[in-house]
Structure 1
Amino acid sequence: MKKLNKLVVAFGAAFLMLPIGAVNAAKGDQGTDQAIYQTSNGKVGYNSDKFTLLQVGGSQGGGYYTQSTYTGQVQASKRRGLRVHSYLWYGVGGSTELGVKAVDHFMPTIQANTPKGSIVALDYEDGASTNIQANTNAIIAGMDRIAAHGYTPMYYSYKPYTLAHVYYQQIIKKYPGSLWIAAYPNYLVTPTPNYAVFPSMDGVALYQFTSTYVAGGLDGNVDLTGITDNGYGKQPTPPTPTPTPTPNPGVSNQDYAQTGTFTASATVNVRSGLANNSSVVATYAPGESLNYNHIYIVDGVVKGRYTSYSGQQRYASLGLIPGQSFGTRTATTASRHYTIQYGDSFWSIANKLGVDMYTLAAKNGKDINSMIYPGQTLNY
């Protein structure tokens, strides 16, 4: 259920008072997330709940709206002994600039109400741009700002929406265990998680397992890693530093592009070196590859050459190695093999190998819904 228009209903019961500063054993704890429909006093679900995530407001297309209930819900939740965290609707599409501004807009309110280290989640489930890398960059930029303010950044959405619009592996590479993902078995009252419908993805720390935690509706969540202790006696793990690319010796004016899907506007060649007379190892027609006039393999790294606005010849490292997916073709025709491991899916394997999951399945005479088993070998 979209948090922009989330309808959640009351659950009544008194909470045992817990000291807010105490260190809690959060792994396996359950709690709720709430928005304006829960009124300024918030709602109570079960006596056993330990945490809550409250919507401070949101950003949509460059504008902001504030949830007037946020401050009251924070105070009511603290009186109930809950570990209180925050989230904001992150309708910034693929704009890094709008994302950073949105986080900075809401952080003063969050800082006045919740402790350093507590969670600030970006609710990204609508309005994504068609540029997956731009969407991903905007999310990471927002998370970077949250971390810079001393809070724990998280990303919230649904698995299908994430797979369609975000390179989530880039998120968890920098912020391991930072995903808050929703998946519901049905709309019956569900007081405990049904792991049969768990959204299997790397990096999931919070699982929103129902929108009907109690009769009438309320989001229920389970903490899988202890992340809701952050800010309450436990400090967040620092983000993984982004490695600085090492320029290739002898090549000046290097730019580095992010990993992604690239589409060619003209025929391009993949060559085995930087010289135009080096061996061509693959050719791509328009629509198959990317917007570079030549592609090269340099020291085992695929680079695209292009002309900059100033007229200089530049090379962009595409984050790929020979054999990884390059549009609908690969940078080498040599066949490679992968042995399936426990817990693998076509999606997770494709992400590990940097290939398209549909192409991977078809190449092995399967589709993405086919059963695969540990020990089997896939060609890619």
Structure 2
Amino acid sequence: MIEHKLKALILMVGAIFMAFLMGNTTSHAARMDMVDVSNNNGYMSTAEYVSMRNEFGVKAVTVKISEGGTYKDPYAASNIANVQAAGMYINGYHFAHYATKAQAIAEADFAGRTAKLAGLPVGAVLATDVEAEEQNYQSRATNDVNNKAFMQEIQKFGYRADIYTSGSWANNKMTIKGKTGWIAAYPYVVSGKNWYSNNHAWQWSSTARFRISYGGFDVSQLNSNYYTAGQKSTVKPTNKGAVKANNKKANKHTYKQSASSKWIKEAKTYTLKTAVKLHTSTSTSSNTIAILPAGTTVKTDQAIIKGGYRWVRQPRLNGYGYLVTGPTSNTLKYVKSGAAHTYYTVKYGDSWWSIAQRNGLSMNALASQNGKTIHTTIYPGQRLVVR
């Protein structure tokens, strides 16, 4: 997911800061209440889900169902069946690409039909994952109309609706009302004592590890029962000691604090993949010098993370211009380097994980340098930058 979940300078804090930020919530550390999985995680067995439940206290799993208007996650049906066999709550999500109301309704119909075929039970949540380029270039009002249309349509299939997006997009790119929403914000943007406690869920990590499962996982703390209501479950973590120990360990990552408040040298040449605004300062609300069209070559000298975005600086005859390369978790989503690259052609059965492992990269790094997220679907024949 973030969505939105890519290589960037990320400011993260340690467990002691997380304990402070969680404030008066029921725990002094973020909980692994829910895990979300997709084709990027490969096949997940019932035994793996049982381990997540018993050893880490995972209550719910949200599986990718579909993307856009044609892609069906090949692991959706097996994930749904195996999560249910493990006695856990099951939900789904659709990765959205809609930019109009009509497209939102069409994608909702596609997602609903796909979810039915995959076995997602009536009463489960089928969330819309809104973090793609299509939504980034819409106004907040347009995104609100489109999201509302999607959620209204999805309810016709018997599913409950919600919106998943990043903390930097919530109430900026779209409206997320209190007592709704699933927000992704890893501990690098401090915004008060509690992390989205008024929303249904807070995704706090994309790199959580589980004992018998390979790779990193997106994990969320549930701040309401929305993702565990409306369906039957026999969730019973049988090893409470392991749950406590493993959750404590998961919150003990010692992240390096990035120089997010300092400019760093970054002399690069970028070719814009899409039109990008050139600002007068490192603020999305600052004046626009120009709108640079797709294909424009931009030479930069420095970069900084500020206000939830990664910015690059362009020297100009009369000063500097500033461009957003994407949210801090989606660096280089909108621009790509003009340097020479080594490419890999995607084959049938490939995934972000398998290609990344083959080339000595993390999934996020691989997706980042291709201007995508790990939730973006890749297809046989597609060329990806690996060097």
Superposition TM-score, scaled by structure 1 size: 0.47
> Would you tell me which structure has more helix in proportion to its own residues?
2
Superposition TM-score, scaled by structure 2 size: 0.46
Give the structure, 1 or 2, with the largest relative contact order (CA under 8 Å, sep 6 or more).
2
The structure number with the bigger radius of gyration is 1
